[in-house]
Structure 1
Amino acid sequence: MTAEEQWRIELDSAVCVGSGLCAGTAPTCFTLDTAGRATAPESPVPASPELLDAAENCPAAAITLRTAEEGKEIFAP
């Protein structure tokens, strides 16, 4: 991961259980909406270890990360 690398967040809101783990782990990338489901900012976002950690630890496996330019999979549940 480089300092200028950008990732695209794909969030499956249909399977999100609203645990808030993603928002707690990567608060610059995730928030919870009024229904308690995770939301992500418009992509791309800067690559970060916190973002990868949030995706890897999502209890609902609702987060996929891809490179912004090529769409190469970084993490998929």
Structure 2
Amino acid sequence: MRAAAAAVDRGDLVVYPTETVYGLGADALDPEAVERIFDLKGRDRSNPLSLGVASVDDALRYTRPTELAVAFARAFLP
């Protein structure tokens, strides 16, 4: 974990396991790292990437959800 955290801090990309596939991650606030993910995946910029956060409040800092989505998140997410 320390090596992965250090890599992200340097602006590198990391590969990590999920329940079903491997994920490709980076510092979401590093535009160059995010751009590298789009390039490596061959993904169109109109198809957004997922964002992992620690809490609903963290998610709300980086998104513009509807009031209904906020209510749902507060009711059902940890």
What's the TM-score bracket when you normalise by the shorter of the two chains?
under 0.3
TM-score (norm 1): 0.25
Q: Answer 1 or 2: which has greater helix percent.
A: 2
Q: Answer 1 or 2: which has greater strand percent.
A: 1
Q: Which has the larger radius of gyration?
A: 2
TM-score (norm 2): 0.25
Task: State the structure with bigger RCO (CA 8 A, min sep 6), 1 or 2.
Answer: 1
